[in-house]
Structure 1
Amino acid sequence: MQFYKVLFFALLLKVANSNGIVNEDEMILRFSSEINNWVKTGEESEEFQRLLDNLTLLSSLHRVDWHSYTGETSNAICTVCRSVFDTFIEFRKKGMSANDIKSNVIKLCTRMNIATERVCDGVMTLNLPIILYIVDTKPNLTASTICGVVFESESCPLIDDEFDWTVNIDSGPPKLIDADDSEEIINIIQITDIHYDPNYEPYGNANCDEPTCCRRGQNDTNTNNKVAGYWGDYNYCDSPWHAVVDVLEQIRATHQNISYVYFTGDIVDHGVWETSFKGNIESINKTYSQIYETFRNIPVYPIMGNHEAHPVNLFAPKTVTSNELNTQWLYNLMADLWINFGWLPESTRHTILQGGYYTLSPKKGFRIIALNSNVCYSTNWWLWYQPKDPVGQLQWLADTLLQAEKDGEFVHILAHIPSNNECHAPWKREYLKIVDRYARIITAQFNGHTHNDELLLFFSNDNSTTINNVAWNGGSATAFSNLNPNYKLYIADSKNYAVKDIETWMYNLTLANENAAQRPLWYKSYSFKEEYDIPDLSYDSLHNWLSRLARDDDLLSRYYRNFFKRAEASLKKECDTKCMRAYMCRIITSLGDHRTHCS
């Protein structure tokens, strides 16, 4: 449960037409006025009660992605966002204390059934100091800008000129590098989204009233006897430690001749209302130590996920120097761990400390660029404070790729949050322009974050019918939520580092929990080439595959099943061809109108 849900998620029901409210401006005025009166008097008027009753969130909608809504519901969500922020920004300017703001928002949160009082309190306690710092130090910040950053939709547009920034990208023609295939291969393992939960309780409560379940202390709310599995759970539960260890041991025991391990982030659990610096540091240290002990002499190239930060998602710019607010503790920790384990050279420390990103060349002619794409996440509140290319990372990326091109290097890019997944629009636009310019040398990208088995195909800016790059998603080692745990093996060309095939490995969580005394039965779920009957993973072949996906319902159904990692907990939901096609459309990434490829 993120802070944005605490504040805005309530208008998923009936609100657009409730009580005679006919347009957005009227709704904002009426709701803002009623909040004002309620805060000042402590009493709910009949009008306020009617509004709140219509805004109250059903428990079944607590975990629904607000981005999936369109039309009147999307308008309503933006209206609530602007109403709440307009009201409390004005209260703050008039001198309302942090404690009073916190108390009132917690009451509003629980009154609307957005979360339990414990969760509302925890989220506000963690996030409010940062939000108030931003509001206090940026007096021109408006509710329209805040909601535009968070939602960035037709209903809630971002029209603030401060957010329209660009990166200087070399305009010269791409340099041609010999990219012929070789017969020799290398093996690359990708592990992502472990989400280790120190509070995981096997046989505890798997159906709680909090954002994350299966945790100690939640049994008093278990009314339907759904208990947490020993190896994890399909419900909204993270990973017990023995499941984390098992995936690492499975990789070491099964796969020989691993050249590199890519770890694409998210160690920390989803208990975002009660994280702490101490708890995050302990989980990060414990997990990276286990990774090191498992792989020893195999190079590991890690990046951080949005959950490593405390509070979750929040990556502050360098100008914020307060130890209570900035992200320097995390950058310091990661630099020390990654370098001291021998995975990275000392030369990477400077940019890791600058913003959590780095580059290195593990072999002549090959470069890895590891980004901290978490700064672009639409729920990184610091974007309100400093929207322009946080810590100059994209400019650094463009400059690093230009030098790699001059040096004749092929490149892999690692980034936790994919460029099309809730990433701030200016960042996404500039990132796509950079990829388009250097597509000839970027032979693969690797993402995490979504937990699903998916990919992104990048279409050329000059030719909207041509694919010129691909980003593979590693899925997740956690079962959160309604998924089977997995990792991936990439078979790559040893000369140009293009991916030749992918093996997805997983286990059936239901069967694993039925035989809890035994280790899970890992198996190769599929090879990409074999599953989809394609000759190779070249851009032409992937384009043909995408075209087949649009007209072959059986192929689309297979992709849909693999997207959810064959987990029956997800696949039992009804989804017809039109529904499945939406998952196909997620594949397409371009600067233009990608819907033309999904018709």
Structure 2
Amino acid sequence: MRRLFLFIFLFNQVLNIALDVKPNGHKLNKSGLMHKLMDTFNDVSNPSKADINCGLCTVLVDGLQQGIKSNKTDQELFQFVEDFCVNLKIEEPHICKAVVPQFGPEIIFVLTKSKHDVDDICGSLIKGCGNPDNPKTQLWSMTIPGNKPAVKPWPTVANGGQTLRVLHLSDIHIDRLYTPGKESNCTHGGGVANPMCCRPYPDDDLQKPIQIPAGPWGMNENCDIPFQTFANAMKHISETQKLDYIIVTGDMEAHDIWDYTKDKTIANIDNITAVLTSFFPTVPIYQATGNHEGVPMDGMPPHTMEEYDSHSPQWLYNEYAKIWGVHLTQQAISDIQYRASYSVYIQKNLRLISLNTVYCSEWNFFLLLDVVDPDGTLEWLTEQLLDAEQKNEKVHIISHIPAGDDYCLKGWSFNFYDIVNRFEGTIAAMFYGHTHKDDFNVFYENGDPTGRPTHFTWIAPSLTTYSYLNPAYRIYTIDGAYTGSSYTVLEAETYWADVAAANQNGQEPNWQLEYKTKQDYQMTDLSPKSWNELIKRLETDDTLFNKFHTNYYRNPNQAKNCYKEPECRKQFICRVRSARSYDETNFCK
């Protein structure tokens, strides 16, 4: 929501500098309009925030388009927006000064080039606003190969066989400015919450007493983790686990999205990868890009975009190629440099595909110009899966944004869903992050939640505590590597640390086993069928649901009695059934 406010208020100030002409040619009373807008915004009795935001967005996007047509310079636009942000205390002054030049060029470029009208754009930004058939929900088709092999039963694996141990890290989000003793429950004078806490701000009111000081190991608040918590976790894992390889599913940057720079992002990627390598010098590490690696966040346009070189993420893709390429082929490195995706053999007859899902991100504003298969990524994925199928190989997919999350554009998500169902016999496992929660999604044949479950995704908990969480990581036991291996996940162990306890007792975090998926959820195996049966049990078994709900947050203070609230429980059940975005009417019956 904070990104939306920043985006909306960027438009708001543009009304003050646009031509004094409405779209219909009448004079625009700026003063009266601004009073009306502010009255609407400040009307807290209004029952629908969505209606308020929609009204603002509709007027403001139109105003911005008029400002662009009047040839106002970027600097003129930026300065007015900054002043507006500061004067209305939308954010701390230093954030206002930074966020406008961070996102402004992308937004202005997209709206200058876009053929979409106000209703399309606001419909893309705000649910229930404007045109429901907007770029965010636009469906598009692609060719998926036919001749699907006959569906085989999920493989049965005998106990005691050869296995692989794999570490899954996701959403590390190290805050390099994390400072013990700083406010962890931060608000400023206007009562607006800061985007992040546990760090110093130039606008700090030094006279205001700190209510909840940040501890040395992190906080269950609106804070990312300090570097020492990341290093401590890696030290613990290296001393307690024997690993065959590591997967990292994106998002290393902190959540200070107003302060991203290319140099800082590169330094952060280099440092985190170097730390991983120092603790696991002989263990292969395979990574996927997160949306927070973009500068600005999510800013990864496809090559087909006009003036691509002016906004290109090539600097990032080249860095990935350098850092990730240690265990990769030259072809994989070339694929990274083009689309930040790659395919590599990690065991005999097992391919790992790292998929760039920022190409489906709703906050990748460049996609407003063309949402259809950015950089041919899904076509490339299909080619990889078809080749693997023809060679009787298995595939693991690692990625960041789950396709069932509404953060992922509908057209991309629907096509990915069909690809998974087409290649269900080839894909052995899929691993994601992004949500920071401990979760999963199930796929169904023909998208029918009452039908046969075809596959599922592992959505890993985050190492960051943002927001109101405890840090966690996961270890998979995978069938392999031997002739005929299924490469399916046999068990998943999730570990966590109580940072509040560590802060209180003055000792290092106690990393401990939280639960084993198959064992604690009493699943027959970890097949799609068993995951679907788990969903059915979650609907009726209060004890089981509470266990899942607590694991989801890994913070007892967050895990309320959701099972007693039908709507709360329904939302959780709906989400795990939904591996396809913007399809609530189908999966939430």
Q: Which TM-score tier does this pair reach, normalised by the shorter chain?
A: 0.7 to 0.9
The secondary structure found in structure 2 opposite 1:243 is helix
Aligned to 2:311: 325
* Structure 1 residue 314, shift from structure 2 partner: 0.8
Q: Which moved more, 1:141-150 or 1:540-549?
A: 141-150
Q: Does 1:372 align with 2:356?
A: yes
Aligned to 2:119: 144
Aligned to 2:379: 395
Q: Quick one: structure 1 residues 34 and 332, their matched pair in 2 at CA, closer, same or farther if it must change by over 3 Å?
A: closer
Aligned to 1:78: 54
Give the TM-score normalised by the residue count of structure 1: 0.87
CA deviation profile, 1:518-568 (whole Å, cap 9, x unmatched): 210011001112221222212222222111111112211111111101x13
* Structure 1 residue 511, shift from structure 2 partner: 0.3
- Equivalent runs, 1:459-498 vs 2, <5 Å: 459-461=444-446, 464=449, 465-494=451-480, 495-498=485-488
Contact 1:190 1:261 in 2 (8 A): yes
Contact 2:18 2:70 in 1 (8 A): no
Aligned to 1:63: none
Distance of 1:162 and 1:419 partners within structure 2: 13
Counterpart among 255, 258, 273 of residue 241 in structure 2: 255
Q: Which moved more, 1:276-285 or 1:117-126?
A: 117-126
* Structure 1 residue 109, shift from structure 2 partner: 3.7
Aligned to 1:409: 393
Distance of 2:284 and 2:364 partners within structure 1: 31
CA deviation profile, 1:27-84 (whole Å, cap 9, x unmatched): x9xx9799876999999746633531431498xxxxxxxxxx9x94434423322221
The secondary structure found in structure 1 opposite 2:77 is helix
* Structure 1 residue 146, shift from structure 2 partner: 2.2
Aligned to 1:419: 403
Distance of 1:593 and 1:134 partners within structure 2: 27
Aligned to 2:510: 521
Aligned to 1:240: 226
Q: Quick one: structure 1 residues 161 and 496, their matched pair in 2 at CA, closer, same or farther if it must change by over 3 Å?
A: closer
Aligned to 2:186: 208
* Structure 1 residue 5, shift from structure 2 partner: 2.4
Aligned to 2:543: 554
- Equivalent runs, 1:502-581 vs 2, <5 Å: 502-516=492-506, 518-565=507-554, 567-571=555-559, 576-578=564-566, 579-581=568-570
CA deviation profile, 1:73-122 (whole Å, cap 9, x unmatched): 43442332222111111111121221222233334444554323332331
CA deviation profile, 1:228-265 (whole Å, cap 9, x unmatched): 11111111111111111111111111112x12211001
Contact 1:331 1:352 in 2 (8 A): yes
Distance of 1:244 and 1:432 partners within structure 2: 34
Contact 2:17 2:77 in 1 (8 A): no
Aligned to 1:18: none
Contact 1:57 1:113 in 2 (8 A): no
The secondary structure found in structure 2 opposite 1:127 is helix
Counterpart among 311, 326, 338 of residue 354 in structure 1: 338
Aligned to 1:287: 272
The secondary structure found in structure 1 opposite 2:257 is coil
* Structure 1 residue 288, shift from structure 2 partner: 0.7
Contact 1:316 1:325 in 2 (8 A): yes
Compute the RMSD of aligned alpha carbons. 3.2
Distance of 2:583 and 2:15 partners within structure 1: 36
Q: Quick one: structure 1 residues 163 and 547, their matched pair in 2 at CA, closer, same or farther if it must change by over 3 Å?
A: closer
The secondary structure found in structure 1 opposite 2:465 is coil
Number of equivalenced pairs? 564
Counterpart among 16, 28, 34 of residue 48 in structure 1: 34
Aligned to 1:299: 284
Distance of 2:252 and 2:21 partners within structure 1: 41
Q: Quick one: structure 1 residues 92 and 35, their matched pair in 2 at CA, closer, same or farther if it must change by over 3 Å?
A: closer
Distance of 1:8 and 1:522 partners within structure 2: 42
The secondary structure found in structure 1 opposite 2:107 is helix
Contact 1:145 1:384 in 2 (8 A): no
Q: Quick one: structure 1 residues 347 and 499, their matched pair in 2 at CA, closer, same or farther if it must change by over 3 Å?
A: same
Q: Does 1:191 align with 2:169?
A: yes
* Structure 1 residue 434, shift from structure 2 partner: 0.6
Contact 1:102 1:125 in 2 (8 A): yes
Contact 1:476 1:485 in 2 (8 A): yes
Q: Quick one: structure 1 residues 161 and 291, their matched pair in 2 at CA, closer, same or farther if it must change by over 3 Å?
A: closer
Distance of 1:394 and 1:242 partners within structure 2: 38
Q: Quick one: structure 1 residues 125 and 594, their matched pair in 2 at CA, closer, same or farther if it must change by over 3 Å?
A: closer
Distance of 2:156 and 2:518 partners within structure 1: 20
Q: Which moved more, 1:150-159 or 1:229-238?
A: 150-159
Contact 1:56 1:112 in 2 (8 A): no
Unaligned runs of 5+ in 1: 11-27, 59-68
